[in-house]
Amino acid sequence: MTTRRFHLVRIKIAALIALLIPVMASAQQREKADPSSAAGIVAGTTSMDVLDSARKLGAGDRLSYRVVQEKRAPLSLVVTDSGEVEVPLIGRVRAGGRTCRELAEAIKPLLQREYFIHATVIIGLDSASAKSRGTVYVSGQVRTQGSIEIPAEERLTVSKAILKAGGFAEFSDSKKVKLVRNKPDGKVETTIVDVDAILTKGQIEKDPVLQADDRIIVPRKFINI
């Protein structure tokens, strides 16, 4: 009788395990990164050459990070308000103003100093910050020189950035404002913008939309006496 009960218990346990295995497998599948998400893309990428080299990172951006040689699932990193990320093994690294590819290339030699003979660092943007889309820099003949955040919800242009910088100084040449932009291929592009025509004649089609790390330089107007 006892033996029969023992066999019945074993049968019930086996049946219960059979029912639980599909549930557990389903849960494990849900835990895996969605292939279409940044974490999923990072998990399936093995080359740094395909990393994004266009968008500059900023405070609040959430990144997926992994080192191929570690054979681990991607980790989540967040860019702090000071523009840094806390990277396992090496600590804080500047991320603000860099693209995913630039950040990966900065981390790679730091890992290779002590931890890897060769490190393949894969980084992807998981979610962009709602605070800002980066920073531009205004210098020269404006009332307040310095950096200006590009609000996430605003289409920031050259003229708007100058107004945010307090407007033109007394001896500025508002017809020859320089917009300097670093291109993804490493080249530097300089455009002359007639901000005077934009503000006084309403030629808004000549007002370029700014990107992260753009530099605006307002020259001094030379007056012949």
Show the 3-state SS of 40-79: HHHHHCCCHHHCCCCCCCCCCCEEEEEEHHHCCCCEEEEC
Say what the pLDDT of residue 83 is.
83
| pLDDT of amino acid 27 | 40
Q: Tell me how far apart the terminal alpha carbons of the chain are, to the nearest angstrom.
A: 119
91 φ/ψ sector (left φ>0, alpha ψ -120 to 50, else beta): left
Q: What is the pLDDT of residue 206?
A: 93
pLDDT number for residue 185 = 74
Q: Give the CATH fold of the 38-127 domain.
A: wza like fold (3.30.1950)
Q: Whose CA is closest to 111, among 194, 48, 202, 155?
A: 48
Sheet containing 121-127: give its strands across: 75-78, 62-67, 121-127
What is the pLDDT at residue 169? 92
Nearest CA to 212 among 95, 119, 112?
95
Burial 125-139 (b: 16+ CB within 10 A, else e): bbeebeebbbbbbbe
| Ranges for all domains in the chain classified under CATH 3.30.1950.10 | 38-127
**71 Rama sector, left if φ>0, alpha if ψ -120 to 50, beta otherwise:** left
Domain spanning 132-218: CATH superfamily: Outer membrane lipoprotein wza domain like (3.10.560.10)
All CATH 3.10.560.10 domain ranges in the chain, comma separated = 132-218
Q: Do the Cβ atoms of 188 and 169 come closer than 8 Å?
A: no
Strand order in the sheet with 146-151: 146-151, 132-140, 215-218, 177-182, 188-193
CA distances from 168 to 22, 192, 225 (A): 68, 16, 22
Q: What is the pTM of this model?
A: 0.51
List per-residue pLDDT tens for the chain, 225 residues long.
455 555 555 555 554 444 444 434 434 433 444 444 556 678 778 889 989 888 888 888 889 999 999 988 899 999 887 889 999 999 999 998 888 999 999 999 999 999 999 999 999 998 876 666 678 999 999 999 998 888 777 789 999 999 999 999 989 999 999 999 988 777 899 999 999 999 999 999 999 999 888 999 999 988 755
